[in-house]
Structure 1
Amino acid sequence: MPEIKKARPFHEYMDEYKKQMEKGDIKEAYRGLMEYILGLRTYFENKYPDHIVSGSIYQGYMDMTYFSFFPESLKNRKLKVAIVFIHDTCRFEVWLAGYNKQVQTKYWKLFKESDWNKYSIPSTTKGVDSIIEYVLVENPDFSDLDTLTKQIERGTLKFIKDVEDFLSKLKN
């Protein structure tokens, strides 16, 4: 059986988990968040039929939840865009990612070795799923989901355009 790393005994965490689940707030918030992200995925799928949107969302371990978006220009380079909700900070980010670790490392090096500093570049690729990252919405307003969706859409499209512009200047 795998070992669970923890600061307190595992059973204490589970006791707290049970209390929180009995209250019901976390369960309802999580359900609502998953419904919103599924709806966001469907929004991108319907609005951008020329792009591929992943068929499902990755729900994660309450660390991150995301779905992938594949503009043709990036897909041809074996790159994808992930629209990510980070649970700890409760914010939305957009990441450029590779189809696999080799692609990720190749493009991470291209961005890292360039003087391009428009977006955050992780210091390493080890244990990291992104090549570059950008915070789309720092403090999402879940009381106005239409506006939130438009914020995420605008930021994602700008991110994609900036990445495409950078990559178009590279020699292949």
Structure 2
Amino acid sequence: MAALQASIREYKKQLEKGEIQKAYKGILEYLMSLRTNFEKQYPDWTVPGGLYTGYMDMSYFSIIPTSLKERKLKIAVVFIHEACRFEVWLAGVNKGVQAEYWHMFKESGWNFYEPVATTQGADAIIEHILILDPDFDDLDGLTRQIQNGVQVFSANIDNFFANHN
């Protein structure tokens, strides 16, 4: 338990500075705003549930384009805290669906996006980096980058299914 106690002391020290709380709150507020923006900009897409805030590892929300709904697939817009980057993931609505489509992508030879190494313990079928170094001082520009990246990702997944049915 000594290691945990040392970590708690460091945690407290960092929190006393106030920047972690400010940054974390800003990230979560931005993600909630981005989620709402997707709801408004893409009325044909389903934006289920809320924001998963995570344990300062990742925070995300899901989007279900109409083309993926019947396949029980969804797209997640993910912020990876430690790397401070945005990713877009393709995931199943449950582990069974996820495993089924993971095998389909893996066996297809399609290499546009690399499937994750294994579905064991994974939350995604495909993980793709959208933005390596987001500019949180230009939220409108960041939103456009993310929306464009998600649109391209979704279209590429649709193209995969059009050619691998």
Q: Which has the higher contact order (CA 8 A, sep 6+)?
A: 2
Q: What residue number does 2:59 align with? A: 65
Q: What residue number does 1:78 align with? A: 72
Give how far 1:20 is off: 1.0
Q: Equivalences for 1:85-104 in 2 at 5 Å?
A: 85-104=79-98
Q: What residue number does 1:19 align with? A: 13
Q: Equivalences for 1:1-172 in 2 at 5 Å?
A: 9-171=3-165
Q: Aligned to 2:135, what secondary structure does the other structure show?
A: coil
Matches of 2:103 and 2:112, distance apart in 1: 15
Deviations 1:100-141 (A, max 9, x none): 011000000111111211113111000111101111101101
Regions of 4+ moved over 4 Å: none
Amino acid at match of 2:122: V
Give how far 1:55 is off: 3.0
Q: Aligned to 1:83, what secondary structure does the other structure show?
A: strand
- RMSD, aligned CA: 1.1
What stretches of structure 1 of length at least 5 have no aligned partner?
none
Q: TM (normalized to structure 1)?
A: 0.93
Where is the helix percentage greater, Structure 1 or Structure 2?
2
Q: Aligned to 2:78, what secondary structure does the other structure show?
A: strand
Q: TM (normalized to structure 2)?
A: 0.97
What stretches of structure 2 of length at least 5 have no aligned partner?
none
Give how far 1:16 is off: 0.8
Matches of 2:119 and 2:144, distance apart in 1: 30
Q: Aligned to 2:7, what secondary structure does the other structure show?
A: helix
